[in-house]
Structure 1
Amino acid sequence: TIVGAHLHAAGALVTTVAEPSLISGVSPDAMAEIPLDIAHAGASKWSVISIAGRALYACHDGIVAVEGSSPSMALSDRFFTREVWRDRCGAGLASMQFARYDGKLIVFSKTGAFVPFMIDLSEGGEMTDLPQLVASTAAVLTTSDQMYVVTGTTLRQFGGGSMLPLRWATGDIVLAAPAALAVAQVECTGDFTIRFYQKDRLGYTKTVGSGETTFYLPSEPRDGHSGLEPSDRWKFEISGTGRFKRLRAAASIRGLKDI
């Protein structure tokens, strides 16, 4: 029984209540079915999409990515275990919808059953929660490559309008040996606050404005901060409003140039 389908390569990816299949060929009367070697049923007919030559669909254990005729769970495994996926999205699998925005995958529930999120599909890409996204459906206008969402009876441009506040944090960054960070550099547009943590201890907080800002990190308590000692476990948190481009930190100014 077919669950969903989407254009892919020279045909379509079709998800079913069992394994998916590729339907391919050069003309409608000469199509062939190629079962894919992955035993993951499709979760909903709206959660099948093709982005940058790769087809993706939601299953009950995560997200399956198909490149050519090779299916894989590697993308999903970067962000979810089976238990995490089911705890987070299990109540909304039947209403889950996929959309694409600027090469990224947007995942939301048409009924608001879970917090929407966005996954950057590039190598080393990140996952970002979108708690303010409320949508019953989404589509991309191909003439402008812009995504729109429907909220109630209103059509809204995704990524348009004024900037919204953001908060982003890394996980624990574990090093092979303790390292001292003495200088950092931030490039952004807007106003942001950066917090530097060592083993969950807040050591330093810095607020910056638009442009490129280079600043030193105190190694001893100063101005109400506890200071940053050498550590093998670091974490960074960024909050503010605007566009944040990058944060770099090193043991010296020369070290920043090598990043």
Structure 2
Amino acid sequence: MGFTLGPRAISAGYRLASFDQIGSTNSEALARANAGERGPMWFVTTEQTAGRGRRHRPWIAPRGNLAASVLETIDVAPATAATLGFAAGVALATALRNVAGSVSVPFSLKWPNDVLAGHAKLTGILLEAEAVAGRGLAVVVGMGTNVVAAPEGTPTPATSLRALGFEVTAEQLFTALSDSWAECRGIWDEGRGFGEIRRRWLALAAGLGQPVSVHTGQTTVSGIFDTIDDTGCMIVRTSTGDSVPISAGDVHFGQAASARVG
């Protein structure tokens, strides 16, 4: 079975490039953008050998997992483009629910860019962007999902759809994802619809209202995860009652956060 776009994605004008194996779907999408491709276009594989996550961490997709990147060319400020990551989280969670069938799994969204199944990481999201002459930004949203296998020894425990009891392939998940992305991308609407994306994201947010500790470089901010604001920053309410916006960092919830606070 090969990769295919869903009907909603086709109607929205998306195109597809699939690969038996590739180093990085994000790198391929950016290379195509630099060569003049403007999208919207998906780049997908079930085997990625040189993928990357946030902060240049490796993201290897062994055969059977899903590595998918979508290229969009948009005329918005970089800070607005960054909020597409929340649309990606909502789209992935929607796609996972749509292929779940009778399997009941509590999917949630961990700020800023992970999908969790229970307390384990299932999917990572990486946004990259480059300026395009006269056309704004070429934005690539990479989404890697552990379909048949999950890495071991990671800072956050990871799991796979197979380990959760899902009888689903990377190809089936991608078709669902292409449709849910087309829906969420339309809602996002160059950032004008981020309020609705934010509402949907918060409805699935992991750790909302719970103790959190966020490491931002050499600084640690601890408190309660209150919300995300209209730019996508995490708002942490500290013990002094201050509301601190966090734009990036490594997040720890629950006992890990409490231990760090102590």
**TM-score with structure 1 length normalisation?**
0.27
More relative contact order, 1 or 2 (CA 8 Å, 6+ apart): 2
Higher strand share: 1
Higher helix share: 2
